[in-house]
Amino acid sequence: MKHTMKCFVISSSALCFPINFKFAATNIPPVATCPADVTVVSVQGNNGSVANFDNATCSDSEDSAGSIIATCDRQTGGFFQGLGITVVTCTCTDSTGASNSCVFNVNVLAFVPTNIPPVATCPADVTVVSVQGNNGSVANFDNATCSDSEDSAGSVIATCDRQTGGFFQGLGITAVNCTCTDSVGASNSCVFNVNVLEFVREYYLLYLVTVRFQDSHLHPNPLLRP
């Protein structure tokens, strides 16, 4: 029986195999590489925290790059309950069933409030003109804003002693106070002014033009009236 042979030249010597010869797999397990340890701070109440981390990677001498995907017992973006260290295990398994694992730690630290007060930012001063009779005016203005180093964006809302769209009685300046209070009770305030100016009646010169025809020409005659 004849076989088609495939030969390789190694160090001036020929090494030949049947064309349908298959090399035996070595079953060398893949290399699993985990991300670095992760440290996060618990939410208030010390119930735990969300933790984000890079994916583990796999490399193998027998399988093509990217063909083996690591599987981990915890996923990035997941919530880690309570305080302390959680060990995350990731495993790589190649096409022959050989596997290898690596581990990394997610450490959840206790939340310690700093009591740093939020930053309160007021809108610019507003100037309006009183209604007739100088009784005051409605004033519209932007909302004050709050930012805090410990609370999430938008969770701290400013409260002001006067509201936009409200009526400001009389003439002159009214100071509007706005306060931001965070979840640990620390607060900060800002102030802006609403200035109501006097209503001043404006007068216009009204020109009345009388016309008459004389010799087929138009002659204007302006009269000045208050």
CATH for 80? 2.60.40.10
**pLDDT band of 200, cuts 50, 70, 90:** confident
Domain boundary among 85, 109, 133: 109
Average pLDDT on 52-74 reads: 91
Rounded Cα–Cα distance for residues 108 and 13 (Å)? 62
42 domain-assigned: yes
Question: CA-to-CA distance for 169 and 88, rounded, in angstroms?
Answer: 65
Would you say residue 67 lies in a domain? yes
pLDDT for residue 113 is more than 60: yes
Q: Which residue has the higher pLDDT, 150 or 75?
A: 75
**Cα–Cα separations (whole angstroms), residue 201 to 18, 22, 129, 130:** 110, 103, 11, 11
**Reported pTM:** 0.47
Residue 23 · residue 92 · CB < 8 Å: no
Confidence band, pLDDT 50/70/90 cuts, at residue 225 = very low
Average the pLDDT over 10-28 and give the result.
58
Domain tally, the chain: 2
Band of residue 24 on the pLDDT scale cut at 50, 70, 90: low
Mode of pairing for the β-strands spanning 78-81 and 221-225: unpaired
Q: Domain range for residue 98? A: 29-109
Sorted by sequence, the CB contacts under 8 Å of residue 115 that are 6+ apart come out as 184, 185, 186
Asked if 80 and 141 sit in the same domain, the reply is no
Could you say which of 74, 109, 144 is where a domain stops?
A: 109
Note whether 98 and 126 are same-domain residues: no
Same domain, 92 and 37: yes
